[in-house]
Amino acid sequence: MALDEIPGFDAEHGDTIVFDHIDLDALDDLFGPINESQRTGQVTFPVDGYEVTATADGEITIRE
């Protein structure tokens, strides 16, 4: 949804359909708690010329 906020970017249509390339359930699993302990960390991946970083605390950063 954060990518949809970029003017002119449509995450569900166009040349790259983000949901075809990024497994959102896997991201949830990656940062989900283990033995009731919260995880830390981040993952960064490219999407159509943007660098998207998602952190364990739910922050999403998008850079060109």
Name residue 15's amino acid: D
Under-70 pLDDT residues of the chain:
1, 4, 10-20
pLDDT per residue as tens digits for the range 16-28 = 556 667 788 888 8
Q: What is the pTM of this model?
A: 0.68
User: What per-residue confidence (pLDDT) applies to 16?
Assistant: 56
**Cα-Cα end-to-end distance for the chain:** 17
Please, which residues have CB within 8 angstroms of residue 64's CB and are 6 or more apart in sequence?
49, 50, 51
Is residue 62 within 8 Å of 50, Cβ to Cβ? yes
Domain residue limits, the chain? 3-63
